[in-house]
Amino acid sequence: MCTVTIFPTGENDFVLTSNRDEAPNRVSLVPDFYEVDAAKLLFPKDKKAGGTWIGVSDKNRLICLLNGGFKHHKRKESYRLSRGVVVKDLLASKEIVTAIEAYNFQDIEPFTLVIADWNTNLQFYELVWDGDQKHFKNLPKEAKIWSSSTLYSKAMKDERTQWFDDFKKGNKLNSAKALQFHKNTHINNKEYGVVMDRGFVKTTSITQVEKTKGVVSMCFENLAKNTKSLSTFLFTETVHE
């Protein structure tokens, strides 16, 4: 997995949308609230590993996972810890930068995290674990797309980035337009359209998180079952001078 876009919609607000590309028989539960290390989290749970690929926490944070780092890697037979558990751990952490600096990523399969944190002013971050070292950086608050390195070659990723750039030029980005991009872009391209289907792996769900002031909504659409759910997380909005 997967395809992720993010863009700011205001000084402290944003929309992130994630297409999950996974084996069709891998079950995920609809988003629900959980308590992890005394933190309140909202996420769709992967039934097999118990982790998640996207979640929101009462630590004023959103984290979204893509499999793979900068390039395709050869998988080992087993790893110490599931990447989806890393997402839960970091969602529950008190302060994201400190938590990432202290976290032990050894013997975890390569991944990329897209992070939005609004403990002070809204910040976008990217964390890439390449299997040997972590690459953590603050991102500009502007529209960006990611495609998983485990499923998409550099040429495919570059072309998909161009699709997103073209879409931005012709549309004012909002949550509805983001869903339009994630559902309909090159829909007939089963190999690497934004909704893809290679048989053994396909886009199984679309999750969109929208923050508007003190309200964060998570819309989850199961494409196989053709079902939708909407969950709302209320926050105390802090005004910073």
Whether residue 241 has pLDDT greater than 60 = no
Closest to 3 measured CA to CA, from 220, 202, 217: 202
Strands across the sheet containing 39-43: 32-36, 39-43, 54-57, 61-67, 111-117, 123-129, 134-139
Write out pLDDT tens, residues 125-153. Answer: 999 999 999 999 999 999 999 999 999 99
Report domain 3-234's class: alpha beta
Place of tokens 């309909």: 184
Residues 174-185 have a mean pLDDT of 98
112 pLDDT more than 90: yes
User: What is the pLDDT averaged over residues 41-59?
Assistant: 93
pLDDT for 108 beyond 90:
yes
Strands 227-234 and 39-43, sheet pairing? unpaired
> Residue 239 above 70 pLDDT?
no
Question: Whole-angstrom Cα distance, residue 127 to residue 110?
Answer: 11
Check whether the bond before 2 is cis (ω within 30° of 0).
yes
Q: 127: which strand partners?
A: 113, 136
Q: Give the percent of the chain with pLDDT over 90.
A: 90
**Element spanning 83, H or E:** helix 83-92
What percentage of the chain reaches a pLDDT higher than 70? 98
Query: 92 in helix, strand or coil?
Result: helix
Q: What pLDDT is recorded for position 237?
A: 62
pLDDT at residue 1, rounded to an integer: 66
For the cut 60, the answer to whether the pLDDT of residue 174 exceeds it is yes
Give tens-digit pLDDT for 186-220.
Answer: 999 999 999 999 999 999 999 999 999 999 999 99
pLDDT range class, residue 102, cuts 50, 70, 90: very high
- Read off the pLDDT of residues 67-91 as tens digits, 9 standing for 90 and up: 999 999 988 989 999 999 999 999 9
